[in-house]
Amino acid sequence: MRYLILLLLVSCTATKIQKSEAFLARQGVLPQICAERFPVVPNTVIIKDSVVKYDTLISTEYLHDTLAFKDTIYAVKYQPLKIVKEVTKVKTEVVVDRATEAILKSRITQLEAQNSTLTANVSKYKGRAKMFLNWLIIAVAAVVGYSIRKPFTSLVKWYFPKLKL
C-alpha cells in the first residue's frame, strides 16, 4: 500500500516540475536560476599545441673527416647541422553561457518595452506643453492689451480729436 501511494506521488512530480518551470519561465527568473545552479566557469578556452618540424635530414651517425695541419693529420668527427623549426598552433574554443544570454535577452526585451512607453509619454507631454504655451501666450497678450488700453485710447483721442471712442 505504501509503495502504491509513493508511486502515485512520484508519478505526479513530472507534471509539477513542468508546470513550475513554465511558471518560472513566464516570470523570467528560470535562466537566472539555471545560471546560479550550473555556472559556466571559463568563457574562453585556449588550447596550445606545439609541433616540432625538422627542416633538414638528421643523421644519427657522425661524419668523419681528416684535417691536415702542417705535418699533423687530425681525424675530425662531427654531426651535421640540425635546423629545427617549431610551430605553435593555437586552437581557441569559446564556451557560451546560454543562461546568461537568456537573462540578458529578457532584460533587453524589458528595456525595449520601457523605452517604447517612455517615447509615447514624451510625445504626449510635448503636445501638452505646446498647448500650455499657446494658452500662456494668449493670456499674456490679453493682460498686456488690458493694461495698455487706457493710454492707447488717450493717444488715439489726442491724434484724432473728432473721433468718439
Q: How many other β-carbons are positioned within 10 Å of the β-carbon of residue 25?
A: 13
What is the pLDDT, as a whole number, of residue 132?
96
Query: Domain total for the chain?
Result: 2
pTM for this model (two decimals): 0.37
What is the pLDDT, as a whole number, of residue 44?
57
Q: Are both 121 and 79 inside the same structural domain?
A: no
Q: Are both 165 and 110 inside the same structural domain?
A: yes
What is the pLDDT, as a whole number, of residue 80?
62
Q: Are both 115 and 81 inside the same structural domain?
A: no
In this predicted structure, the answer to whether residue 133 has a pLDDT above a threshold of 90 is yes
Is residue 11, in this structure, part of any structural domain at all? no
Q: Are both 103 and 90 inside the same structural domain?
A: no
Q: Are both 89 and 104 inside the same structural domain?
A: no
Q: Which residue, chain included where needed, has cell 471712442?
A: 165
Alpha carbon distance 107, 113 (integer Å): 10
User: Which carries the bigger pLDDT value, residue 121 or residue 60?
Assistant: 121
Is residue 17, in this structure, part of any structural domain at all? no
Angle between the N-to-C axes of helices 149-159 and 98-147, in degrees from 0 to 180, rounded to the nearest 10 = 40
* 90 in Cβ contact with 46 (< 8 Å): yes
Q: Are both 71 and 131 inside the same structural domain?
A: no
Alpha carbon distance 72, 24 (integer Å): 95
What is the pLDDT, as a whole number, of residue 13?
62
What is the pLDDT, as a whole number, of residue 125?
95
Q: Are both 102 and 164 inside the same structural domain?
A: yes
Q: Are both 90 and 104 inside the same structural domain?
A: no
Q: Are both 81 and 106 inside the same structural domain?
A: no
Q: What is the mean pLDDT of residues 48-67?
A: 60
Q: What is the mean pLDDT of residues 46-55?
A: 59
Residue partners of 21: CB distance under 8 A and separation at least 6:
30
What is the pLDDT, as a whole number, of residue 32?
74
User: Which carries the bigger pLDDT value, residue 148 or residue 56?
Assistant: 148
In this predicted structure, the answer to whether residue 111 has a pLDDT above a threshold of 80 is yes
Q: Are both 103 and 137 inside the same structural domain?
A: yes
Residue 57 belongs to domain spanning: 44-94
Cell representation of residue 146? 488690458
Q: How far is CA 108 from CA 26, 115, 148, in A?
A: 15, 10, 59
Q: Are both 88 and 102 inside the same structural domain?
A: no
Q: Which band of pLDDT confidence, cut at 50, 70 and 90, is reported for residue 53?
A: low
Residue partners of 83: CB distance under 8 A and separation at least 6:
54, 55, 56
